[in-house]
């Protein structure tokens, strides 16, 4: 048996399906009738018998109104998955808004008299909040119903913030069916889920990552086995969006609400769903201090030649080793019997152990005494993708070992693929340097560092803001935003191509090239074909290179050069690049000055055939025309 297969067998024997649930309620343990948190003596007329008080399992009515806390119905075999009882929150039974308040229970003790056992509420990590629901036939005739969850709540109504609201309404395209909406938006790939049959149990489920403030909602329908929660369920994405749009990023309460329609719920649950293991004091690794979480893996992006350090800690003397692969880390590759997540692919052909030597654990790892803490320089001399996860032997853990988080590192080359910029007529597009290259730094312009730029339709690169001006004048270059390039009334939306490439750091900043290829004078039907490259931190410093025009230019005014705009000074007028061609390095009065050639009646004068305007000191203090 290979060492990798043996490792799978050993850990597989410890495997368990999923993590232990934090809370669940199938409503089977209650007496039938109203769930009552409060003593009915405190609320005259409440339909709660004295024998019901303290038997609500933590359920309450909205803002402690006991007549809204729901009715437990006993109907053998008709609950979800054939159970006997379920919760009815239909207003026709004088109940309409059942709340399970985790946060309120944890902070003030509200719910303790009703038997609530939770003492904390989720503030980090990954969680799945779900419930089975059923709309009785014709049950929405009097109104809609809702599945709601809040990221802030107290029963006094002084702290409320909605994280999710899902309305269940009649499906107009399928009479006799219902449709589920995410009233807070669908995000990427989501859409309303319709054609859900009445009188059938379905599941609504949200996977919530508090660490990244995201939530993915799903509707599950039982597959051929007729049982919800099994492998053959049919799952449809409802939404993928921001979780909390305001207030704290927490899970405060579940709210089952009816605005007139009939609604049944069963098998409600809140459970940790983190597919990623997290660090602990017993076993911890990171790269440059970058943390992961239960729902967001630890991923470090670097560039060839950058400095990345793997840090490891554990109890001094405890046996340890790390499993390493030249591959991505894997969410929930294996869950151990003790609830830990294995996040490296332990069957990957590249798997090896960090300590090396003869394996003495599971046929793979070489357990050696941990020094307590150490750092290891990650090789970054070439592109590499690798993942590592540490195991520390521990008699205190049910598994017999503690796992760290898995750290993934992706070392990338410095170059990038050119981004084609789609421009309108007379507009601009903002480009983040980090969107072009993961190793981005900044562009130094007149002593100021910029991490973004604006590609303008009419021929130049702007900083601090976009600009749609199509009338080229020297005064605007001297008094508006910092910029470099060429300006005229161009038509890139119909002719030519504009791209931006970030080649990575050259020491002084990013080597960025914006190429205007075969752009034309506006309104000519494709005449005045002009091309050039605007280069930052290139071999010649900042420059406008490879400038050509085909001789068909008309009467549109033009400007060309570099300027700090209103952050600099106006030296008093344009220069002549044509006159300076071949004369060597020219000095400008001040570094803050603009160096701009201009012709309000046509193309820049170029009788000497220059193709390059260089600004070697990244400002207007010196220039070279060739």
Sequential DSSP letters for 1-23: --HHHHHHHHHHHTB-SSPPPSE
Q: Residue 55: what pLDDT?
A: 59
Q: Does 76 share its domain with 225?
A: yes
Q: Does 239 share its domain with 320?
A: no
Cα 620 from Cα 594, distance rounded (Å): 6
Domain boundary among 366, 389, 412: 412
Query: How far apart, in Å, are the Cα atoms of 40 and each of 27, 170, 260?
Result: 21, 36, 25
Paired with 259 in beta bridges are none
H or E stretch including 107? helix 102-108
Query: How far apart, in Å, are the Cα atoms of 600 and each of 65, 351, 470, 518, 570?
Result: 75, 67, 12, 22, 18
Alpha helices in 184-233, H assignment, sequence order:
none
**Does residue 13 have a pLDDT over 50?**
no
Query: Confidence class of residue 156 from pLDDT cuts 50, 70 and 90?
Result: confident
Query: Confidence class of residue 300 from pLDDT cuts 50, 70 and 90?
Result: confident
The residue among 539 and 589 whose pLDDT is bigger is 539
Domain boundary among 272, 294, 322: 272
0.75 exceeded by the pTM?
Answer: no
Paired with 505 in beta bridges are 510
Q: Residue 381: what pLDDT?
A: 85
Q: Residue 137: what pLDDT?
A: 95
Rg (C-alpha) for the chain, rounded Å, is 33
**Does residue 459 have a pLDDT over 80?**
yes
Query: Confidence class of residue 10 from pLDDT cuts 50, 70 and 90?
Result: very low
Would residue 32 count as lying in a domain? no
Average pLDDT over residues 256-273: 93
Other residues' Cβ atoms within 10 Å of the Cβ of residue 77 = 7
Nearest to 367 by CA among 358, 380, 378: 358
Nearest to 23 by CA among 145, 106, 138, 135: 106
Q: Does 166 share its domain with 281?
A: no
Q: Residue 107: what pLDDT?
A: 55
The residue among 110 and 240 whose pLDDT is bigger is 240
Can you tell me whether residue 625 is helix, strand or coil? strand
Would residue 25 count as lying in a domain? no
Average pLDDT over residues 180-192: 95
Q: Does 57 share its domain with 182?
A: yes
For the chain, what is the domain count?
3
**Does residue 113 have a pLDDT over 90?**
no
Q: Residue 607: what pLDDT?
A: 97
Whether 165 contacts 148, CB under 8 Å: yes
Express each pLDDT in 525-563 by its tens digit. 999 999 999 999 999 999 999 999 999 999 999 999 999
Q: Does 250 share its domain with 341?
A: no
Average pLDDT over residues 581-600: 91
Whether 342 contacts 333, CB under 8 Å: yes
Average pLDDT over residues 504-520: 89
Would residue 551 count as lying in a domain? yes
Express each pLDDT in 21-71 by its tens digit. 478 999 998 888 877 665 555 554 555 554 555 557 778 788 877 667 788
Q: Residue 156's Cα: distance from chain center in Å?
A: 34
As a whole number, the mean pLDDT across the chain is 88
Q: Does 240 share its domain with 312?
A: no
Would residue 59 count as lying in a domain? yes
Query: Confidence class of residue 9 from pLDDT cuts 50, 70 and 90?
Result: very low
Q: Does 444 share its domain with 426?
A: yes
Whether 120 contacts 107, CB under 8 Å: no
Q: Does 476 share its domain with 618?
A: yes
Q: Residue 542: what pLDDT?
A: 96
Q: Residue 158: what pLDDT?
A: 84
Residue 267: give its domain's CATH number.
2.60.120.200
Q: Does 348 share its domain with 430?
A: no
Query: Confidence class of residue 415 from pLDDT cuts 50, 70 and 90?
Result: low
Q: Residue 7: what pLDDT?
A: 47
Domain boundary among 366, 396, 412: 412
Q: Note down the domain range covering 139.
A: 53-272
DSSP conformation letters of 365-429: B--EE--SEEEEEPP-SS-EEEEEEEEEE-TTSTTSEEEEEEEEEEEE-S--PPEEP---TT-EE
For tokens 């601090």, the residue is: 464
């Amino acid at each position: 048996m290979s060492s990798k297969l043996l490792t799978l067998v050993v850990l597989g024997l410890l495997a368990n399906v999923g993590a232990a649930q934090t809370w669940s309620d199938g409503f089977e343990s209650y007496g039938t009738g109203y769930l009552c948190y409060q003593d009915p003596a405190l609320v005259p007329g409440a339909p709660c018998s004295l024998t019901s008080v303290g038997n609500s399992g933590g359920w309450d009515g909205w803002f402690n109104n006991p007549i809204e806390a729901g009715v437990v119905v006993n109907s053998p075999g008709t609950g979800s998955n054939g159970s006997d009882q379920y919760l009815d929150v239909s207003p026709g039974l004088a109940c309409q808004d059942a709340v399970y308040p985790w946060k309120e229970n944890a902070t003030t003790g509200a719910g303790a008299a009703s038997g609530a056992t939770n003492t904390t509420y989720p503030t980090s990590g990954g969680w799945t909040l779900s419930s089975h629901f059923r709309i009785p036939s014709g049950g929405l005739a009097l109104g809609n119903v809702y599945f709601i969850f809040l990221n802030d709540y107290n029963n006094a109504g002084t702290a409320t913030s909605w994280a999710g609201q899902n309305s269940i309404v009649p499906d107009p395209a399928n009479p006799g069916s219902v449709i589920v909406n995410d009233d807070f938006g669908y995000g990427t790939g989501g859409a309303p889920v319709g054609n859900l049959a009445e009188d059938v149990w379905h599941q609504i489920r949200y996977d919530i990552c508090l660490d990244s403030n995201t939530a993915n909602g799903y509707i599950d329908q039982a597959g051929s086995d007729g049982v919800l929660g099994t492998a053959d369920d049919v799952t449809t994405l409802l939404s993928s969006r921001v979780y909390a749009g305001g207030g704290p990023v927490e899970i405060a309460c579940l709210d089952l609400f009816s605005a007139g329609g009939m609604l049944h719920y069963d098998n409600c649950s809140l459970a940790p769903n983190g597919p990623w293991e997290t660090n602990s004091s017993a076993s911890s690794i990171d790269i440059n201090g970058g943390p992961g979480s239960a729902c967001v893996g630890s991923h470090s992006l670097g560039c060839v030649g950058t400095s990345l350090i793997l840090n490891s800690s554990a109890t001094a003397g405890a046996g340890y080793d790390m499993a390493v692969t030249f591959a991505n880390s894997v969410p929930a590759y294996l869950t151990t019997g003790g609830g830990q997540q294995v996040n490296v692919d332990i069957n990957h052909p590249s798997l090896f152990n960090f300590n090396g030597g003869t394996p003495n654990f599971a046929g793979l790892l070489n357990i050696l005494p941990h020094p307590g803490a150490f750092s290891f320089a990650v090789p970054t001399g070439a592109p590499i993708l690798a993942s590592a996860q540490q195991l520390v032997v521990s008699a205190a853990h049910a598994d017999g070992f503690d796992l760290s988080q898995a750290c993934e590192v992706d070392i990338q080359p410095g170059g990038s693929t050119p981004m084609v910029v789609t421009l309108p007529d007379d507009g601009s597009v903002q480009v983040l340097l980090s969107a072009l290259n993961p190793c981005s730094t900044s562009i130094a312009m007149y002593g100021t560092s910029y991490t973004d730029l604006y590609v303008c339709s009419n021929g130049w690169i702007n900083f601090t803001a976009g600009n749609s001006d199509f009338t080229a004048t020297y005064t605007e270059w001297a008094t508006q935003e910092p910029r470099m390039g060429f300006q005229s009334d161009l038509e890139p939306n119909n002719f030519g191509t504009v791209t931006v490439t970030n080649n990575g750091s050259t020491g002084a900043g990013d080597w960025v090239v914006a190429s205007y290829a075969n752009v034309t004078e506006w309104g000519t039907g494709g005449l005045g074909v002009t091309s050039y490259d605007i280069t930052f931190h290139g071999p010649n410093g900042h420059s406008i290179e490879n400038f050509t025009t085909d001789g068909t230019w008309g009467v549109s005014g033009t400007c060309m050069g570099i300027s700090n705009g209103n952050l600099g000074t106006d030296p008093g007028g344009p220069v002549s690049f044509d006159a300076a061609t071949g004369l060597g390095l020219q000095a400008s009065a001040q570094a803050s000055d603009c160096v701009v050639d201009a012709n309000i009646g046509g193309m820049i004068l170029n009788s000497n055939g220059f193709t390059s305007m260089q600004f070697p000191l990244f400002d207007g203090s010196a220039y070279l025309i060739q």
